Amino acid sequence: MENSTTPKISSLIAQIQSNDKLSQLLDGINFVPGDTFYWNYTDCSVTYNEHSKDCIPFFLHEIGHAILKHSSYNKDVELLKMECSAWDEAKKISNILNINIDDNLIESSLDTYRDWLHNRSLCPKCDTTGIQKTPKTYYCISCYTKWNVNEARSCALRRYIKYSD
């Protein structure tokens, strides 16, 4: 949780840019106000929502993605691994800047990804946990059903049974 001495986002950005270590790590990264939090690796920008209740921790988390140069992933579990490492990096940055990030906020955020991953992997026929074969295809080792999934990180999850390869 942010403490009462947590800076506003504009002063935090200035603090990051004036910190020798952080400014070197984030050279060429743009900070863009928006409606959500997002690391865009193709245009090297961190988008943030300064009106969000937990703006600072999520902003630092996205900066973590930037520092780690996260880009795409092929398997859902790789996304969860990237999210964990971005939060670890956010904690390091917060220590440098003397800002506290509540561990419960981190775990709550990671739980959304864990739930997302689990729900995508459930067989639509028998509810057994399946195996991801391709970025959007799963296979059930119990009933042999194959299914496709949509992105579903910001919309409702859809699972579509495949009837042919």
User: Is the model's pLDDT at 79 over the cut of 60?
Assistant: yes
Yes or no: say if 70 and 39 are a contact pair by the CB < 8 Å rule. Answer: yes
Distances from the Cα of 112 to the Cαs of 27, 44, 74, 89, 138, in angstroms?
A: 31, 25, 19, 19, 20
Q: Per the structure block, which two tokens stand in for 74?
A: 């092929």
User: Is the model's pLDDT at 106 over the cut of 50?
Assistant: yes
User: Is the model's pLDDT at 132 over the cut of 50?
Assistant: yes
Map tokens 């800002």 to a residue: 99
User: Is the model's pLDDT at 163 over the cut of 50?
Assistant: yes
CA–CA distance, 159 with 153 (Å, rounded to integer): 13
Please state the rounded mean pLDDT for residues 4-15: 78
